[in-house]
Amino acid sequence: MYPQVIVSDRDLALMNAISVVFPEATNILCRFHINKNVKAKCRMFVDSRKAWDIVMNAWGVVVDYHKCDAYDEIVKGFEFVCSSWPLFVDYVKKTWLIPHKEKFVRAWTDRVMHLANTSSNRCVS
C-alpha cells in the first residue's frame, strides 16, 4: 500500500524524489511553511501593521479559494491589494503561485482526500 497524498516542504530534491518513488501520490506543500515564508517576505516590504493585515488577508483568500474557474480573478484582486508592493507580488507569483499553486491552493488540493492535512508540522496539522 502506497501513500496517496504526501505533505512536504518546498524542497525541490524531495519533491522530485516523491514523484519518482511514489508516482501515483499527490504531493501537497505545507501551508504552514508557505505562510511563514510569505509573512516574512511581506514584513520586508509592508511597513504598516494595518496594510500588512490587509495584504495577509488577501493572501489567505488566494490560498483558501475553492474554485479553479475564477481563480485568476482572485489573484488579480490580490495583485490589486498589493499594488503598492510590486516586489512582494513578484515574489509570491514567481516563488509560489506560478510553479506550485496546484500543490497548496485549496481549489486543487481539495481534489484529493487529505483529511485536512495541509502541514508537514504535526503540531500544526
Reported as a single tens digit per residue, the pLDDT across 44-95 is: 999 999 999 999 999 999 999 999 999 999 999 999 999 999 999 999 999 9
Q: Cβ atoms within 10 A of the Cβ of 38, count?
A: 22
Rounded CA-CA distance 81/47 in Å is 15
* pTM of the complete model: 0.89
CA-nearest of 22, 122, 34 to 5 is 22
For the ranges 30-34, 55-59, 121-125, which has the lowest average pLDDT? 121-125
CA-nearest of 93, 119, 122 to 33 is 119
What is the residue extent of each domain of the chain? 30-109
Angstrom distances, CA of residue 118 to CA of 4, 8, 41, 69: 14, 9, 21, 22
In contact, 46 and 92? CB cutoff 8 Å: no
Strand ranges in 57-114 using DSSP code E only, listed in sequence order: none
